[in-house]
Amino acid sequence: MKSITLLLTFALSLPAFGKDVLLMNRIGPSSSELYLANADGSGEQKLIPSTGFDYHASYSRDGKWIVFTSERVGYGQADIYRVRVNGTGLEQLTNDPALDDQAVFSPDGRQIAFVSTRGATHRANVWILDLATKRATGLTNSPEIQGDPTRPDGFFRPSWSPDGKWIAFASDRNTEWRGHGNGSGWEHTQELSIYIVHSNGTGLRRITNGGICSGSPKWSADSKQIVFYEIPVEGTWNARVFSLSARATSQIVSLEIESGKRTEITSGPGLKLEPQFMPDGRVGYAGKEQGIAYSSGKGTFPASLRSPSWSPTGTQVVYEKVDYTPRPQNQLLYSWEPQDEFCNTDVFPSFAKDGTLLITSKDVDSSIVTMNADGTNRKTVFQAVQGAAFAPSWSPDGKRIAFGYGGFLQGRRTSGARIILVNRDGTGVEELTPDMPNAGFPSWSADGKEIVYRSFAQDARGLRIINVDTHATRELTNGVDNLPYWAPDGSRILFTREDNGNFDIYTIKPDGSDIQRLTTFPTNDAHAVWSGDGKYIMWNSGEYGFRDEAALYDNSFQPYGSNWIMNADGTNKRQLTESHWEDSMPCFASGPHQLFHGQ
């Protein structure tokens, strides 16, 4: 990557960093803070006076400490911290480039169990940290516990039994990569079961049935029962894509470990998550509409909150409040490679040769926007009225923009969509594909004479190439293909192909010959883009699987994507980013421009 030539002129107020600069969109909250309140919602106050990006908190057994995840340093690197319940004594417990998250104390307070993607596999596993020595030991990454490496094999939400003998967790080990709607969609649904294992890694037992999503286990005080939520696998997807709780129904269930007796604690519609036994016999849980609710029906208080955890006495609760205000343009984000510097932007970014940035703006109706690379001089080139204006592409001379307009996303194949051309100042709007029922995701050829796009018509699926002047069109592929991207030198076209619900990256010559498949793992790979010199390809991959229970993600339908890079021939694949959120739609910054890091 060091060979990528980037002509970057930084704002005068900032030093030249001498790094490769890349843009991406992080789909997740822009802020998250922890709060404490009484169990009835009164007395709310911030846990930590200083501002940080903090989440997933839980109490120690003696009620004196709270352990939590924080991205307060490192531009988004997630590590484990602890703090006293009065907000003092803040201490960082882990410092690893991988994602460290979802920590819980052991009953004696000397250890924590947490989820981490550290290690050779980069998958989410449960680890044990000795708080005195800071030595971390893997719990679920042993051959006896690991599942089939080609299938999902994540381990989430550990919970230590009060007697110290067992650790419960949710896992999708040995399940299938299943797309939404029986394999017809981009989003992978997640099947989860509850397991228990001794803290030394022996005695693994699955205690819930397969074929459903069971998550967030918590122990009863006598270590004889576990409470968790249950939701149909398809309901996991519906719960969060459009934040429509009416589409998802889950129930809170308790299970006696020895007898296997199940008790459904809740009933009726609504999304109910993250339950916990209360000392008075009730069960508290997170309700999407209620905020916090109790099985007794009393004490419920509404709030916009997530991830509640109650004190051992049940009198207090810690939770997080998040904000989805868009992150600032060019806000620094964490990257695994020190020679790279990732900055935030909106979706489908690309640069003209003069350094002007082009994006799809995720406002009420998606619109096409240009701006200087530092975010100034922002102009709306095309405002969507019906449907979405999506995935714009610069002409090589920077004078025109092509984009898709209409209802052309996955799941909307019967909706109308077409390719639109517009001058960079917003004038000269022209419909390029009036005879195509569903066209989108255009990309210009190197000479500016042709555009490749994808067609989603019942009898005309695949990639098409159209002459910009004559509108003569030829078929390039006839598969379920999408997201084409013409190489800078015009020699090849990148695209994503769906096969039996799985998406992979391919390249093809513009004459339709020499098709090459670059990714083969049975999870989704997509949104591939070229580097400015055509030597590298950057894309999104779910190869390392989920990093949390999918039902717990807000406002993200694809919560396991990371940005990767490879050589143009598909060799030397490596991961660039790792976060709790979806890192998506990367772009190589190129051309002379000013880059400013937003705060």
Asked if residue 118 lies in contact with residue 101, where contact means CB atoms within 8 angstroms, the answer is no
What is the pLDDT, as a whole number, of residue 404?
93
Token pair in block for residue 245: 């709780």
What are 498's strand-pairing partners?
A: 480, 503
Please name each of the domains of the chain with its CATH number: 26-323 (2.120.10.30), 326-588 (2.120.10.30)
443 forms beta bridges with: 452
**Angular region, 60: left φ>0, alpha ψ -120 to 50, beta rest:** beta
* b/e per residue 288-306 (b: at least 16 CB within 10 A): bebbbbbbeeebebeeebb
In whole angstroms, give the CA distance from residue 568 to residue 237. Answer: 33
- Separation between Cα atoms, residue 127 and residue 134, nearest integer Å: 12
Nearest in space to 199 (alpha carbons), one of 159, 230, 234: 159
Decide: helix, strand or coil at residue 156. Answer: strand
Token duo for residue 112: 């924590």
CB 543 within 8 A of CB 505: no
Q: Give which of 302, 305, 335 is closest to 320, Cα–Cα.
A: 305
176, with CB counted inside 10 A (0-12, 13-18, 19+), is: middle
Question: What is the secondary structure of 255-268 as a DSSP string?
Answer: EETTT--EEE---S
Tell how far CA 567 is from the center of its chain: 24
Please, what is the end-to-end C-alpha distance for the chain in angstroms? 27
Can you list the residues of the chain whose pLDDT is less than 70?
Answer: 1-19, 180-186, 235-247, 288-290, 338-339, 363-365, 408-415, 554-559, 590-599
Q: Distances from the Cα of 167 to the Cαs of 63, 218, 254, 289, 431, in angstroms? A: 19, 10, 16, 30, 60
pLDDT confidence of residue 422: 97
Q: What is the DSSP string of 315-363?
A: SEEEEEEEE-SPPPTT-EE--SSTTEEEEE--EEEEE-TT--EEEEE-S
The CA R_g of the chain, rounded to the nearest whole Å, is 25
| Sheet with 306-310, edge to edge strand ranges | 45-46, 31-38, 316-323, 306-310
pLDDT, position 63: 96
Distance CA 336, CA 563 (A): 10
**Cα–Cα distance, 585 to 277 (Å, whole number):** 41
Tallying the residues shown for the chain, one arrives at: 599
